[in-house]
Amino acid sequence: MSFTSIVKNEVSKLSFNDIEKLTTLSAIICNTIKTETNIKVSTENASVARLILSCIKELYNINPHIVVRKGYNYNKNYIYILEINHDIQHFLDNLGLIENNKVRITPASYIIDDEHLKRTFIRGIFLSSGSINDPKKSRYHLEIIVLNKEYADYIKDLLNHFNLNSKILKRENKYMVYIKEAEKIGDFLRIISASNAVLYYEDIRIYRDHKNMTNRLNNCEQANVNKIIFTANSQVKDIETIKENSFDLLDDKDKLIAQYRLKYKEVSLQELSEIISLETSMQISKSGLHHRFTKFKNLANKIKNSKSN
């Protein structure tokens, strides 16, 4: 079973009062092909189909005609089709989908009159045409497919009312409202009251974030090691150049530092300063070593330049 099906099964089995049923139905019917004489609602989720059927029967005492057929997609899921072909005007008007005797694309404002109803409407939208990737198997992605641009804008604004940073993308003759950010998708699941899905999703998200952070730290640590080795090798080459030509020009402290760098060729400046401080009477800091090696580099460059001339 897909993660989308798990989420839809969970939220479709929540308890709904009559107002929540009406708002949920309005969200679902909004995204169906409807006329003043016929409405068809289709879904691949049996639990969602049962919810739609119960809401219609309990609120309007209407028994939709139900058809179950095999889908044409690669996994050939069953498709549940609920058809309403009587009392359409009253049905749509009650759902806030009639204005001036014409079918509305978006519902009347009273359908989402408060924060709770906004959340309920979003839940209905997701049940109707939403999908969400399993965070364990693929990239973070949540999408809702709708039939027209006006309804897509309406959904985007509704989602962004809750700071979900949703966006719209045209897909063939339909529109996709989508969310990409992992944290925002977790917030979406909270909004639709998918409590079990939230726990699963956040566990996976935290694990993946921790794994990614560990990988970044390891990469950063390896880069630092490579940098230390490269710098130390450069310092060793400078000292060898000086040793072959002008080692006597160095004072005793410089000679001691040079000898320790040749002895410990791959340690960092901090480690080298600690070794020198422990093994000799000379106390020198990391910055002090950096100053000395800069001096060695300049001297080695002078030697190389004089030879080239």
Nearest-10 crossing angle of helices 115-129, 18-30: 50
Per the model's pLDDT, the better-predicted residue between 170 and 244 turns out to be 170
**Nearest alpha-carbon partner for 82 in 93, 91, 74:** 91
Query: Own/partner pairs for 213-216, CB < 8 Å, 24+ apart?
Result: none
Residues 150-192 have pLDDT tens digits of 999 999 999 999 999 999 999 888 999 999 998 899 999 999 9
pLDDT at 44 exceeding the cut of 70: yes
Residues of the chain with pLDDT > 70, as a percent, come to 96
Residues 48-95 have pLDDT tens digits of 999 999 999 899 888 888 888 876 655 567 888 888 888 888 888 888
Per mean pLDDT, which range of 24-38, 68-82, 183-197, 287-301 is the poorest?
A: 68-82
Token duo for residue 242? 């000086």
What residue ranges do the domains of the chain occupy? 3-193, 218-308
Query: Own/partner pairs for 88-92, CB < 8 Å, 24+ apart?
Result: 88/34, 88/35, 88/36, 88/37, 88/38, 88/39, 89/36, 90/60, 91/39, 91/60, 91/62, 92/29, 92/34, 92/36, 92/39
The β-bridge partners of 43 are 80
3-class secondary-structure state, position 113: coil
Residues 202-223 have pLDDT tens digits of 888 888 777 777 777 777 777 7
User: Average pLDDT of the chain?
Assistant: 86
pLDDT at 260: 85
- Which stretches does DSSP call E strand in 20-64? 39-43
The β-bridge partners of 98 are 103
- The mean per-residue pLDDT over the stretch 274-285 comes to 84
pLDDT grade for 309, boundaries at 50, 70 and 90: low
pTM: 0.68
pLDDT grade for 279, boundaries at 50, 70 and 90: confident
- The mean per-residue pLDDT over the stretch 129-138 comes to 87
pLDDT at 115: 93
pLDDT at 159: 96
3-193 maps to CATH 3.10.28.10: yes
- The mean per-residue pLDDT over the stretch 295-306 comes to 84
pLDDT at 241 exceeding the cut of 90: no
